Amino acid sequence: MTPRRRTPDTPDAQPKPEDAAQRGDRVAKVMARAGVCSRRDAEAMIAAGRVALNGKKLTTPAVTIVPGDTVTVDGKPLPAPEPTRLWRYHKPTGVLTADRDPEGRPTLRDSLPAGLPRVMTVGRLDLNSEGLLLLTNDGALARHLELPATGWLRRYRARVHGIVDQALLDRVKDGITIDGIRYGPLQATLERTVGANSWITVALREGKNREVRKVLDSLGLSVSRLIRVSYGPFQLGDLARGAVEEVKGKVLREQVPPAFVARAPAKDRQTERRQAADAKPAEAKASPPKGRTPKPFKPPPADMAPGPKGRAAAGNAAGRVSAKPANKPAGKTSAKPADKSSVKPRGQRADHRRQP
């Protein structure tokens, strides 16, 4: 029997990001990557006849855009795609992870601060869950980070009502099947118990719909609060509820495959240069410009001492001037001082009374 040839449709031969970039992308994806609209809205704009490719109006979104093609929307060319960016967002409870809701509930679009570009979420958090939610302007990156094959660990803290012990939680360490759905291994650890409530830490590498709640509910534990505290290497930390913070370009390049991040945003590059300059040693900062040689320091001559006030202040600061000569009998003065430390500053008269 001849073995079946691998094709890009088979799971073990998925195309790499760089290969997909060489073959081109669908027009809806290109429009979304440029920040014009979502893919769904792009399909609606194409159906309305608002999108053209190389001067010809498109009638279907099943068109691939390759380097050199020109796409226009309402006669205007698409803006150049921005560099890939990533944000940390502290999602509060009561916010729906969606752009719009037919029931009129608060959505992610309503909660994000003004000035943020069009973004999409990496995974989801249900309406009553809170904590870390990653946002990006690159749909391909969002999809890559969501896949269990990426191997990123997601950690949650859950407050449950019920009797809890570690032996009960260990039942799901190898996975569990609920209503015909198989859930992967979960690392559940009991933190503490306060009254009738307990706090549990849960870690998993896949994120099926309401997985943590369903697994704990199968153990007889009702979840009253669920907080995502980390997603892969990114932590919730002390990020305020409802706040958004962008991940620096250097960190993004370290954590994300190079195919998704060609270069960091210009703002981050300037910040990195300033930080690198601040990190230089002090002697490197104080070095003179090239072509100039610093002159060695020469102390001033003795006959160029400062004026009365300056000399007195300098002498007192250095501990060289004494108001009275040290170890001298009372009522006696010397015409010549014993040493320099007993010199009277100019402007102070010496006692010239003759001795008996």
**58-116, pLDDT tens digit by residue?**
999 999 988 888 999 999 998 887 788 999 999 999 999 988 888 889 999 888 988 88
Q: What is the pLDDT of residue 87?
A: 96
Q: What is the DSSP string of 95-106?
A: -BSSS--TT---
Q: Among 131, 141, 42, 46, which Cα is nearest to 86's? A: 141
Pairing state of beta strands 120-122 and 76-77?
unpaired
Q: Residue 237 CB: number of other CB atoms within 10 A?
A: 11
Q: What is the pLDDT of residue 349?
A: 52
**Residue 10 has what pLDDT?**
40
Question: Per residue in 281-312, pLDDT tens?
Answer: 544 445 555 556 666 666 666 555 555 555 55
pLDDT of amino acid 11: 41
pLDDT at 302: 59
**Structure-token match 């010809």, residue found:** 56
Query: Long-range pairs for 254-257 at CB < 8 Å and ≥24 separation?
Result: 256/84, 256/86, 256/141, 257/17, 257/144
Residues of the chain with pLDDT under 50: 1-15, 17-18, 20-21, 263-264, 266, 282-285, 313-314, 317-319, 321-323, 326, 341-342, 356
Give the dihedral of Cα atoms 14, 16, 17, 18; nearest 10 deg. Answer: -150
Instruction: Give me the pLDDT at residue 264, please.
Output: 46
Question: Quick one: pLDDT at residue 30?
Answer: 86
- Give catalytic status of residue 12 as yes or no: no
All domains of the chain, ordered by start, with CATH? Answer: 13-77 (3.10.290.10), 86-257 (3.30.2350.10)
Which of 126, 165, 174, 238 is the catalytic position? 126
